[in-house]
Amino acid sequence: MSECIETNELMNYRHAFHAGNHTEVFKHAVLSIVLDMLRLKPRPFAVIDTHAGLGVYDLTSREAARTNERAEGVERLGNRGLRSAPVYTSSLASTRAGAENLYPGSPEITRLALRGYDRLILCELHPEDGESLRRRYRSDPRVSVHLRDGYEAIGALLPPAERRGLVFVDPPFEKTDETGAIGRALVKGFRRWATGIYMVWYPIKGSENGMKIEAAAIEAGFNDVLRAEFCPFVRSGLELAGSGLVICNPPWTLDRKLRQLCEELSTILGHGDVTWSVRLAFDEGRGEQS
């Protein structure tokens, strides 16, 4: 289980400490599925990653070794990958080809999924992490790195010239008003680019974060909102049980694909206490839980 233990679902979720854990597997698998669906049409797309982190993580680093959370996440996959998320599986294989101890974060998973004419915009406020991103991707003209606040970037960088794509919001949840900041960002996003896909990740200890973010998305004006949650562990309200994603303007049939993902992950992660749900905000009858 995670060492991120705080009250009122406040956490300090710096990616380096949690690389490859169960929440990362779920989140990155979903991201890869959405990217694959974007590639189905020939038109170019852009992805804005608001809290990019380092891009690639060393699972033997001091931070990762301190928590050893990969043991309940990516290590449970072994070399089999996920049938329901082939792009995620190929991202793992490509990254591990450089070294077995490496794990791809959202920037690397997205970069590997880009076609020659798609774009990736990475935002990272931490100066050292931002400079590391710039060094890593300086030779790829499809990738640009901004040392700036990701929430502010939603107002400044939208809409992208492509008018098609994804805003991926993956904050550390270290602020007491993180869900409020997400809600304000969604309002700005809807006003500037109402047709874009917005994917917001949140940790789960209880049930508060997901309900708040879903309500904020609806209040911002989005008519199509999907909420998917996957918890390998019991929701005690104290420890990190799992994570969820609120997705605005989800691609058609994404809910079905995420149910397939959750069913597969249920056989791999956790210790018999797995719960999951995939529901459309305005269609209660289509949600499922196992």
For the chain, 290 residues long, give each residue's pLDDT as a single digit of tens: 333 333 334 444 456 778 899 999 999 999 999 999 999 999 999 999 999 999 999 998 877 677 778 889 999 998 889 999 999 999 999 999 989 899 999 999 999 999 999 999 999 999 999 999 999 999 999 999 999 999 999 999 999 999 999 999 999 888 888 999 999 999 999 999 999 999 999 999 876 899 999 999 999 999 999 999 999 999 988 889 999 999 999 999 999 999 999 999 999 999 999 999 999 997 654 445 54
Neighbours of 134 (CB within 10 A): 16
Interatomic CA distance for residues 134 and 55, integer angstroms:
10
Six token digits for residue 80? 């089999």
pLDDT given for residue 11 in this prediction: 41
pLDDT given for residue 15 in this prediction: 63
Neighbours of 176 (CB within 10 A): 10
Neighbours of 128 (CB within 10 A): 9
pLDDT given for residue 67 in this prediction: 73
pLDDT given for residue 257 in this prediction: 98
pLDDT given for residue 288 in this prediction: 56
Return the amino acid letter for 46: A
Domains of the chain, with CATH numbers? 15-289 (3.40.50.150)
Return the amino acid letter for 236: S
CB-CB contact of 245 with 214 (8 Å): no
Interatomic CA distance for residues 134 and 132, integer angstroms:
5
Upper half-sphere CA count for residue 166 (Cβ side, 13 Å): 30
pLDDT given for residue 10 in this prediction: 41
Return the amino acid letter for 163: R
Catalytic residue IDs: 170
pLDDT given for residue 63 in this prediction: 76
CB-CB contact of 177 with 78 (8 Å): no
Category of 33 on φ-ψ map: left (φ > 0), alpha (ψ -120 to 50) or beta: alpha
Interatomic CA distance for residues 60 and 62, integer angstroms:
7
Q: Please, what is the Cα angle at 89 between 213 and 1, to 5 degrees?
A: 55
DSSP 251: P
DSSP 278: E
Coil, strand or helix: which one is 154? helix
Element (H, E) at 283: strand 283-289
β-strand pairing of 242-248 with 225-231: antiparallel
Interatomic CA distance for residues 105 and 193, integer angstroms:
25
> Distance between alpha carbon 140 and the CA centroid of its chain, in Å?
22
β-strand pairing of 46-49 with 165-169: parallel
Residue 168 CB partners (closer than 8 Å, separation 6+): 31, 47, 48, 49, 50, 106, 110, 199, 201
What does pTM read for this prediction? Answer: 0.92
